[in-house]
Structure 1
């Protein structure tokens, strides 16, 4: 089984560790409203090790529920430990996550409005000693313990033997999920240090995560269950087919609730709805929005339990967001006209046009997609075949998967830096396998560009074993003579990769 690296604050990720919709300390809770804005985040990192202050990096992730992504920002603290950064926001109040290079395993959560100041003091062991935030919207325990509680819920293993689900009914499976969800939520309920308000919202975020990860793709969940129970990795069991009625669990979510706008798992959840083949939501393309929504409501209204409300507008915005984020393809003139006619000068239109402007810049530096078929190449010849295709060029190879949040986040971080190598003697190669659904892979590579390979299971296994990789993302770097210079797992940052490549040019 392929491992996935723990990578704090990568959203699609990342959702395993950034799971909170609404945090409060007994104060009046902010109800988020959609608004295209900018927020300033300032603060200071206080460390007993003075020499480390100038080298401290902060990684801040903000949820963008309208454009449908989570955006990670990196900022360096100066020699006094002070930092400042301006970020785009899409709601009047947003939930942001923050960790630093002093302790990447410890993520803090804070509410982000127009301006937020956060001071973090570390002790000599690298643990957080104190946190001070202005405005003071959250307690220290809620900020520091939320992730720990969620991690316990995610990693919880019940004190009973795993049971076969692949040979049970779909209703049995859905009831099993409800029971498992209830058991995990008890972990938060029984925590004496976090606020009652926080305990109440954990159920909303964790339900989003759990259903997205384990329920939407019924076939994949049953295959995993079959292999875990039988230890048989060769045979494919008969798995029941599902129809749209399977998704009646969506009614339990009350998706018109505006608090979902602060949930990190919400964008991933929306993407699962939009891309699910059984649901069959049509691509928005150049359809006018009212006509598209009529088709969508025929599919969803009975499943979600309503046929009107703000949720449908957000879903339409997310449909455009898939084009902008995944394919990195700008809006057409027709699409811009449709957006302007439907939303006018409302905030959703402002957000989509702002995002489109960013994508136009990225599209200019994106290279064309080239898909290479090596399905008939023997396992042991795969890398030789790939390297020989790019003679006299530096080759940077990325082993990834569509479901790997750290892989996707690394690509997003590297987009601009990658553009610096246009017209230079370097080629970027991306390799995945059948764990990435073919249709989704074909969609995602449009936004990546460059050279792509879709390997068979045996070819992938050979490469991972041959190079000693146990997790993804993993990378290989070859010089112009086709000699392997470096191999590593986990993205080391755009600056470091740029330095390695320039050293070979």
Structure 2
């Protein structure tokens, strides 16, 4: 599954057709008008291209998926943007996902192509070509660096062993970077980015594992080696626009303050930090609370709008908060619990029981997916084909997206039926997911006409035998 619950990435306009797109990510600290980052897609063979891009100021991803021969994407930004491509290489029933990272700068023009199986990006100068080749070369030596298919490393090791392996990985990455920069001319800003990215990745990799049960894991900070490792964490305002810095810092504070109430946690962060770092860490925390539908989201959101200086972060959080607030108001609830789903059509919330009752009368084929899940999106093409042949079967889609706007954009951009889509109210601790042991997606479920689950792990839409299953069920 993804770094999944962790990796949360950016508010940039979603685009996915042949027309010219315009996406805005502006830096509130600058009075200059945002510049264009231009991505020119050249795909004459019309191969499937899938990537996401994100502002380094925020950190959520918005996906791009198309098979267009040509496309142009404009991103307005005064700060660098990170693009992560995902290519699926099939080998029989198995597949491998190749993920590459590219760092794009304001006023950049880059050319994205997919001549064979792997997406490539080039620039207008030899120096930019070298910089854009950094992570693809890195992957050849170390494997995928980041993306939805990168697991938390060294999960089964003891803290001391895990720290040592993470430090070793850091030294190997730095050694690779130093060797790369010896033979490839690169800008100072690019070198600085790589240095800070790799440094804070250590803490991200270590702390990510302990977010699943903070109170239980809090004792870990009392370990001598862990305490020494954590105490070396460097606060750096100049790194605040690198997502890994903000994530790592929030993870660290969550572990240190695991017994604090959400309001006290916020106030501690506000007092402890300053400058850009304070805005980033407060944003990360409040956004996390909104995603998890905290009972204090209104108070925390109000605090942040008053305390933060960064206008971009304030606007991003406002969009996320307003969507959730509208959803809660329309349902008459004050919060979403771990067994609710949100209906796309009217934004009303339903319990799992109400959801099943709403979809009785027909056999239901339930698709668990998310907008960031490449295999999920690929299977949807087969799902729509099968759906046309079986109008008497109810196809319903239940998303695990944590960013509600991304869920909406993904549905609207693909012209999907609004009536058939739902969002899990709180996917991080969902009773629905745990009840049916749904730990990875895509996942499919068959429900009979009376709302009884008859297969909690059904065949995929691309499976030829699924039609035989449907035919048998319809005859019963």
TM bin (shorter chain): 0.5 to 0.7
The match for 1:256 is 236
Kept in 2: contact 1:399–1:473 (CA 8 A): yes
The match for 1:396 is 366
Alignment of 1:433-452 (within 5 A): 444-445=428-429, 452=432
2:251 to 272, 289, 301: 272
Q: Distance in 2 between matches of 1:108 and 1:418?
A: 26
1:371 to 316, 320, 339: 339
Secondary structure of the corresponding residue to residue 459 of structure 2: strand
The match for 2:289 is 323
Offset, 1:97: 0.4
Matched, 1:83 2:83: no
Kept in 1: contact 2:85–2:99 (CA 8 A): yes
* TM-score, normalised with respect to structure 2: 0.57
Kept in 2: contact 1:11–1:265 (CA 8 A): no
Larger relative contact order, structure 1 or 2 (CA cutoff 8 Å, min sep 6): 1
Worse overlay, 313-322 or 94-103: 94-103
Q: Distance in 2 between matches of 1:328 and 1:181?
A: 36
The match for 2:42 is 46
Offset, 1:321: 1.6
Q: Distance in 2 between matches of 1:347 and 1:6?
A: 25
* TM-score, normalised with respect to structure 1: 0.54
Matched, 1:210 2:205: no
The match for 2:460 is 488
1:356 to 304, 321, 324: 321
Q: 1:322 to 1:11 in 2, by over 3 A?
A: closer
CA RMSD in angstroms, aligned pairs only: 5.5
Deviations 1:349-396 (Å, cap 9, x if unpaired)? Answer: 444335434555666788954539xxxxxxxxxxxxx98997536252
Offset, 1:72: 1.6
Gaps of 5+ in 2: 10-26, 90-96, 146-153, 341-354, 377-398, 463-469
Offset, 1:336: 5.1
Alignment of 1:62-461 (within 5 A): 62-63=54-55, 65-66=57-58, 69-74=59-64, 76=66, 81-85=70-74, 92-99=78-85, 105=98, 107=100, 109-113=102-106, 116-123=108-115, 125-126=116-117, 131-132=122-123, 139-150=128-139, 152-153=141-142, 166=158, 174=163, 177-191=166-180, 194-195=184-185, 197=188, 198=190, 201-215=193-207, 217=209, 241-243=220-222, 246-261=226-241, 263-276=242-255, 278-280=256-258, 282-285=260-263, 291-293=267-269, 297=272, 308-327=274-293, 332=298, 334-335=299-300, 337-343=302-308, 348-360=313-325, 369=337, 371=339, 391-392=360-361, 394-396=364-366, 398=368, 413-415=406-408, 444-445=428-429, 452-455=432-435, 460=437
Kept in 2: contact 1:44–1:83 (CA 8 A): yes
